[in-house]
Amino acid sequence: MSTIELTRRYQFSASHRLHAQQLSAEENRRIYGKCNNPMGHGHNYWLEVTVSGPVDPQTGRAISPSMLDRLVEATILRELAYSNLNEVVEHFAFQPPTTENLALVIQQRLLERWPQWFSGEIRLVRIRLEETRRNIIESEP
Amino acid sequence: MSTIELTRRYQFSASHRLHAQQLSAEENRRIYGKCNNPMGHGHNYWLEVTVSGPVDPQTGRAISPSMLDRLVEATILRELAYSNLNEVVEHFAFQPPTTENLALVIQQRLLERWPQWFSGEIRLVRIRLEETRRNIIESEP
Amino acid sequence: MSTIELTRRYQFSASHRLHAQQLSAEENRRIYGKCNNPMGHGHNYWLEVTVSGPVDPQTGRAISPSMLDRLVEATILRELAYSNLNEVVEHFAFQPPTTENLALVIQQRLLERWPQWFSGEIRLVRIRLEETRRNIIESEP
Amino acid sequence: MSTIELTRRYQFSASHRLHAQQLSAEENRRIYGKCNNPMGHGHNYWLEVTVSGPVDPQTGRAISPSMLDRLVEATILRELAYSNLNEVVEHFAFQPPTTENLALVIQQRLLERWPQWFSGEIRLVRIRLEETRRNIIESEP
Amino acid sequence: MSTIELTRRYQFSASHRLHAQQLSAEENRRIYGKCNNPMGHGHNYWLEVTVSGPVDPQTGRAISPSMLDRLVEATILRELAYSNLNEVVEHFAFQPPTTENLALVIQQRLLERWPQWFSGEIRLVRIRLEETRRNIIESEP
Amino acid sequence: MSTIELTRRYQFSASHRLHAQQLSAEENRRIYGKCNNPMGHGHNYWLEVTVSGPVDPQTGRAISPSMLDRLVEATILRELAYSNLNEVVEHFAFQPPTTENLALVIQQRLLERWPQWFSGEIRLVRIRLEETRRNIIESEP
């Protein structure tokens, strides 16, 4: 059986403020610039989730795309869409909500549920998070 | 002399919360849905500014694009980029920061300064504001 | 009150075969080329619906975007998404399903329901249908 | 019969140097900045040609798209694709090859041939020339 | 000699119906949803073909892009463009024409001809097939 | 500490002429076609630079994006933006300025400065250069 990769793309709009609690106000401004503005700002994030698996000869698919959509909806989009990331994501009470950290949070959430949703042959290959057309983060488990 | 239209595109990231002060909490939720979430959310806005004017036979241009860039930077981007719209735009102390109202605010600001910056032959034709790829507002003075 | 234009974008995937019943097989092949292939082909269509109206000072909106979405869903997308246009659109039993005719059918359907859905101040301004990135049809009522 | 607008998009890559002969070297540098660099630079131009006409009830089309393609190929792309605009366009021996002037040249060339190619009902509505995603010129005859 | 990867992008429009012969009508509807509609639907597919090879110091290229274009035209586009995939691709008489299977068919066809067209240093690295902006398949030989 | 990849995108407009000195005029025309036109042509190049590194638990970042921007500005964009590549890049006095060679030049320049700018944990992963939407080169050190 041939193995392929399937990528699904999702968009969500959220706001955030880049601020590290362990750093002084001056350091925060120096490191994050205008992204440290007290009231925050926001983005239309494009999330790509890539999975791999063998193509089932009967259905011609490695994975049900609607199941992946449901998992992403349940664990990511329901909470993050139209949200303030600093507020709704528990991890961001302690860590700055950079795109880097957001990608790792999303990856972690998907990995935790993965064994319940998909068989062992289906692997989470990559998370890609596009904050703007010029700033993109990728993470591999 | 031939008249042409020049369009320049700008991007800025900002956050907002859709909330109308004269309406009840229930009405706000019904009208704006998740866009009424208390802590707000955000977008990468694409702003297009279109001007028209006769093409100068010597320079081959109707308008200096860098002058338009400077006007937009000074009156729009400096304040709105990486901002919370509800906070930084005075008008949004009284009006909800919908894309419709934001387009009108931008148009109003440009019109106020226009006579100082450009000759009478140069006209502000249109403001186009893309909040997401699926929601776009256009306004003509 | 200021008047603005709101544009919403929708995508649907459909198939069609360009064939005019009143023309001979040779004429059909000459006019439509490979688009006349007997078994048809398909596209991801991008539909843009543009409406205009005065901005309500209380809500900051000219129109409820979710109402427009529901009207487009009910009259256009429910039937056309994942369909064969020659089969599902009654008009295409008699007329070839060109992008031109499809835009006119969509416009006609929206105009018929318009008075029930929106007040007289809200006007359907334009339908824009992108068949491919290189072939685009626009229609104004 | 209903009238619609058809837009076709074309891409070509060309180089140019912005330089006005009647101006001094200093003025040229001040007006055009780095676009005045002696050896020139280049772009991938996107050209949109929009025509309007009544939809023929038999063919479902206002115009043959392949005829428009052939006209644009013959009068525009054959000469401009992979060219240096200052060299190949006679008009740019006297005028700077700005996007504004290039749009007017393209419009002029299409208008000259129009009566030979299309019936009186078919009108050239608009030329749109995108030099970069942030700099766009539109011209209407 | 340095090794690089070259990617070429192609678009073709085709229709298909997702239907697995070994499954019941109910199972087909459950698995494929509206993609199982009897008359089919269609897409504008974007195909990316990625090859790798050492850069020739004389020509500055690893591969002639026009040769790759000719191979893709001859083995893929000539048959698939403006086609019904279920009809024209022999493999889809037995297998459902999912994007997964289509990517594997394209890869197989290129691999079969590869040794005749390119030297051993030139390798087919990857096939990427974008059915819609939200559904993407990648395959590596 | 988790390792992620960060990609930044840059655009620059430049012109070039594909011509290999060691080849005859006929061979140059045969290999490069219209890209060998004597006066050259040009493109809007999109450059993507991808780096990897461990995410700093305090700042939530692997690398300062503005430092990468400054390095790319200093070593690549300052010279290449609005330039003629054959003229300004010393390497192209001897080698044809293909996208392949341009990617290798950019990679080489970044690698030379890398140790001065970034710690050993930060790695240059990939250069991606998009000449047009249909012609893309990737290079890995």
- Which CATH number fits the domain that encloses residue F57? 3.30.479.10
Average pLDDT score over residue span E65-89: 97
Please give the Cα distance from B134 to C6 (Å, whole number). 10
F4 vs A31, A97, A100: nearest CB: A100
Which ranges of C9-135 would DSSP assign to H, the alpha helix? Answer: 25-32, 65-72, 78-80, 85-88, 99-117
Tell me the per-residue pLDDT of C2-59, one tens digit each, with 9 for 90 and over: 999 999 999 999 999 999 999 999 999 999 999 999 999 999 999 999 999 999 999 9
Task: Mutate one of A1, A12, A49, A59 to test the E interface: name it (highest E CB count within 10 A).
Answer: A59
| Nearest residue of C to residue E85, measured between CA atoms | C41
Inter-chain CB proximity C59 and B96 less than 8 Å = yes
CA-closest candidate to residue D11, choices D68, D76, D84, D96: D76
Average pLDDT score over residue span E82-94: 96
Please give the Cα distance from B41 to B17 (Å, whole number). 6
Whether pLDDT at B31 is above 80: yes
Number of structural domains in chain F:
1
Length of chain E: 141
E-chain residues within 8 Å CB-CB of F33? 66
Tell me the per-residue pLDDT of A109-134, one tens digit each, with 9 for 90 and over: 999 999 999 999 999 999 999 999 99
Please give the Cα distance from C102 to C85 (Å, whole number). 9
pTM: 0.96
CA-closest candidate to residue D49, choices D134, D133, D113, D116: D113
Q: Is beta strand C3-16 parallel, antiparallel or unpaired with respect to B123-132?
A: unpaired
Residue B17, Cβ density class (10 Å: 0-12 exposed, 13-18 middle, ≥19 buried): buried
Chains with 3+ CB–CB pairs under 8 A to B are A, C, D
Chains with 3+ CB–CB pairs under 8 A to F are A, D, E
Please give the angle made by the CA atoms of C2, C4 and C8, to the nearest 5 degrees. Answer: 155
Tell me the β-bridge partners of B48.
Answer: B9, B128
Please give the Cα distance from E79 to E87 (Å, whole number). 11
Cβ neighbours for B78, distance < 8 A, ≥ 6 positions apart:
none
Whether pLDDT at E1 is above 90: no
Tell me the per-residue pLDDT of A53-108, one tens digit each, with 9 for 90 and over: 999 999 999 999 999 999 999 999 999 999 999 999 999 999 999 999 999 999 99
CA-closest candidate to residue B86, choices B137, B16, B3: B16
Q: How confident is the model at residue F105 (pLDDT cuts 50, 70, 90)?
A: very high
D95 Cα to chain B: minimum distance (Å):
7
Structure-token match 């072939």, residue found: C135
Whether pLDDT at A44 is above 80: yes
Inter-chain CB proximity F15 and D132 less than 8 Å = no
Whether pLDDT at E72 is above 80: yes
CA torsion angle F126 F132 F133 F136 (round to 10): -30
Q: Which two tokens stand for residue F121?
A: 């944990």
Q: Which two tokens stand for residue D122?
A: 């078919």
CA-closest candidate to residue C48, choices C2, C8, C96: C8
Domain limits for position A13:
3-139
Q: Mean pLDDT across chain E, nearest whole number?
A: 97
Please give the Cα distance from C138 to D9 (Å, whole number). 14
Q: What residue type is assigned to position B44 of the chain?
A: N
Do chain E and F touch: 3 or more Cβ pairs under 8 angstroms?
yes
ipTM for this model:
0.95
**Residue B113: its H or E element:** helix B99-117
B6 vs D18, D96, D137: nearest CB: D137
Tell me the per-residue pLDDT of B76-123, one tens digit each, with 9 for 90 and over: 999 999 999 999 999 999 999 999 999 999 999 999 999 999 999 999
What's B4's DSSP letter?
A: E
C41 Cα to chain E: minimum distance (Å):
4
Inter-chain CB proximity F95 and E57 less than 8 Å = yes
| Nearest residue of A to residue E97, measured between CA atoms | A60
Please give the Cα distance from C135 to D8 (Å, whole number). 5
Question: Residues A55, E104: contact at Cβ < 8 Å?
Answer: yes
Please give the Cα distance from C63 to C54 (Å, whole number). 9
Inter-chain CB proximity A33 and F2 less than 8 Å = no
Question: Residues A92, E138: contact at Cβ < 8 Å?
Answer: no
Whether pLDDT at D59 is above 90: yes
Do chain C and A touch: 3 or more Cβ pairs under 8 angstroms?
no
Structure-token match 């100068």, residue found: B56
Average pLDDT score over residue span D57-62: 95
Q: Mean pLDDT across chain F, nearest whole number?
A: 97
Cβ neighbours for D72, distance < 8 A, ≥ 6 positions apart:
D8, D10, D47, D49, D110
Task: Mutate one of F108, F134, F140 to test the E interface: name it (highest E CB count within 10 A).
Answer: F134
Average pLDDT score over residue span F67-85: 97
Tell me the per-residue pLDDT of B66-82, one tens digit each, with 9 for 90 and over: 999 999 999 999 999 99
pLDDT at E126: 98
Inter-chain CB proximity E4 and F133 less than 8 Å = no
Length of chain B: 141
Inter-chain CB proximity B6 and D96 less than 8 Å = no
Q: How confident is the model at residue B1 (pLDDT cuts 50, 70, 90)?
A: confident
CA torsion angle F75 F76 F81 F85 (round to 10): 110
Question: Residues C51, C62: contact at Cβ < 8 Å?
Answer: yes
Please give the Cα distance from C71 to C51 (Å, whole number). 13
Please give the Cα distance from F32 to F27 (Å, whole number). 8
